[in-house]
Amino acid sequence: MSLWDKLRAKFTLPADYELQTPDLPHFDPNAPIIRQKCFFSGRVQGVGFRFQTAELAQQLGLTGWVKNLDDGRVQAVFQGPSDKISFIKKALAHRPYIKITHITSCELAVVPNEHTFGPRY
């Protein structure tokens, strides 16, 4: 097997891979709506991080966006109930191929009329 084949096998999802949805806990219906900017460090680029983040955020009903940064980190902005934002940050650390070593977060002002979550390029 060539070096290229070994690398491709290590960093791509198998053809029969299905994204597993984690068991969602009960969320507090009265949790405050917040907007949070997060920076994820570790093995977060080239492993489907943006796709998996968008998929899970949409399942949770969060809005915002996610994008790769030139320095190897990933930046995401999440808006929604605070307990769902806490959950997504923990759940991403348990996804295939992703290894988060550090998360930095800060609060932002809530953006009214935001309705979607998706990747930015």
Known catalytic residue at 50 = yes
82 CB burial (10 A radius; 0-12, 13-18, 19+): middle
- What is the C-alpha separation between 109 and 83, in angstroms, rounded? 17
Known catalytic residue at 68 = yes
Residue in 30, 35, 43, 50 annotated catalytic: 50
Residue in 35, 43, 68, 113 annotated catalytic: 68
Q: How many CA atoms lie within 13 A of 118 on its CB side?
A: 5
Report the phi/psi class of residue 25: left, alpha or beta, with left for phi > 0 and alpha for psi in -120 to 50. beta
User: Which of the residues are catalytic?
Assistant: 50, 68
